[in-house]
Amino acid sequence: MTQLLVGTKKGLFVLEGEPGAAFEVTSRHFAGEPVEFATRDARNGRTLACVTSAFYGPKVFYTDDLSAEWQQASGVELPEDAEKSLERLWTIVPAEDEGHLYAGGAPGVLFESHDSGETWELNKAFWEQPTRSEWSPGAGGMCMHSIATWPGDPSRVALAISAVGVWLTEDGGDTWRNGNENLYPRYMPEEAREDTLTLCVHNMHRAPKQPERLFMQFHGGVYRSDDSGESWTSIADGLPSDFGFPMVIDPDDPDSAYVIPLVADMDRTTPEGKVRVYETRDAGASWTPRGEGLPQDDAYLTILRQAFGADGSGPSMGLYFGATSGDVFGSGDAGKSWFTAATKLPPVHSVRAA
């Protein structure tokens, strides 16, 4: 039995089923509220959700039992003298130490919890970055959406923000520096590209078995880094488009990545009306389209950056993604074939297998 946590514009939906057939909606939480992201911490079974009420602001909730009440986490806020209030939480990621979690949000902020998500504290070193006043948001806000920990080494973390590029720490978050070499922001004037911080990363993942390797979906570009995020090499050749939002990897295969290309920034839909996931197993040297079982006629879907999740590894890895159309698709064989897991949900913001 696979359980999916599907964050939508109108609540969190929990789906259950076996790969290959439609999943059942087993519960709905935060009805009517935008749930940007939800995940399960595999270390203790706790479910955490980022809920951004249009009225009451962004909150993090947690529960150890989906049939029980959710608790609101504390400390998810900016300093009182901040120019802006906290806008949204985009991701929650387990860190290397027991009970340690990271959360990323807008405007370009990192929070940490050391009690499994009950209380949070702003990472001050990142908040006080001297260049912060020069940072620019992407269309979805200045969202910190990707937090890549380093297996076995809690001191090393890579962050990515739209549109403030990649940030690296090697001292557990006390100091931060950029890791943007060779990223090519073609949306900037030519003469401004070299030194700009306006680098619109859409997604970034580290290969756990080879942690100096990262993969990135950029705002026009797909990249790989083999030096821990210091510099980047384009691996977009072979894709129908280098634009898109989500990305997943097979955690046991450092040469693997999956993306879902969209036409372009001016047309954020699946190309040619066909829904296709593209897979590489050679670190981006080649890409294979994976569309068997996915809509291939008049299907103009938009898949958002957190709406693609994976489960397990290897040939039986589960892959699940949802679209703003409210459809959720799944694969139980690492993308070789696909099935429709759910339809008619509200616009899907995030999908994670629990």
* Residues in touch with other proteins (CB under 8 A): 9, 54-57, 59, 72, 77-82, 85-86
Q: Measured from the CB of residue 81, what is the shortest distance to other proteins in angstroms?
A: 8
Q: Measured from the CB of residue 56, what is the shortest distance to other proteins in angstroms?
A: 4
User: Cα separation of 185 and 234, whole Å?
Assistant: 12
Residue 45 CB neighbours (<10 A): 11
Choose between 132 and 209: whose C-beta lies nearer to other proteins.
132
List of E strands, 55-164? 57-63, 71-72, 88-94, 101-106, 109-113, 121-122, 143-150, 153-162
Choose between 20 and 57: whose C-beta lies nearer to other proteins.
57
Choose between 111 and 329: whose C-beta lies nearer to other proteins.
111
- As a residue count, the chain comes to 354
Do 322 and 279 meet the contact criterion of CB atoms below 8 Å apart?
Answer: no
User: Cα separation of 45 and 56, whole Å?
Assistant: 28
Choose between 221 and 346: whose C-beta lies nearer to other proteins.
346
Do 66 and 14 meet the contact criterion of CB atoms below 8 Å apart?
Answer: yes
Choose between 9 and 132: whose C-beta lies nearer to other proteins.
9
Q: Measured from the CB of residue 350, what is the shortest distance to other proteins in angstroms?
A: 18
Residues in contact with 349: Cβ distance below 8 Å, sequence separation at least 6, in sequence order: 7, 8, 9, 34, 35, 36, 37, 304, 306, 307
Cα end-to-end distance, the chain, whole Å: 10
The full DSSP string for 228-278 is: TTSB-EE--TTSS-SEEEEEE--TT-TT-EEEEEESBTTB-S-GGG---EE
Do 167 and 159 meet the contact criterion of CB atoms below 8 Å apart?
Answer: yes
Choose between 42 and 68: whose C-beta lies nearer to other proteins.
68
Choose between 61 and 232: whose C-beta lies nearer to other proteins.
61
Q: Measured from the CB of residue 225, what is the shortest distance to other proteins in angstroms?
A: 35
Q: Measured from the CB of residue 66, what is the shortest distance to other proteins in angstroms?
A: 19
The SS3 call for residue 148 is strand
User: Cα separation of 39 and 29, whole Å?
Assistant: 13
Residues in contact with 60: Cβ distance below 8 Å, sequence separation at least 6, in sequence order: 48, 49, 50, 51, 72, 73, 76, 89, 92, 103, 117, 120
Q: Measured from the CB of residue 296, what is the shortest distance to other proteins in angstroms?
A: 30
Residue 107 in tokens: 């405007």
Choose between 109 and 199: whose C-beta lies nearer to other proteins.
109
Choose between 325 and 331: whose C-beta lies nearer to other proteins.
325
Q: Measured from the CB of residue 85, what is the shortest distance to other proteins in angstroms?
A: 4
Q: Measured from the CB of residue 80, what is the shortest distance to other proteins in angstroms?
A: 6
Q: Measured from the CB of residue 77, what is the shortest distance to other proteins in angstroms?
A: 4
Return the DSSP state at 347: P
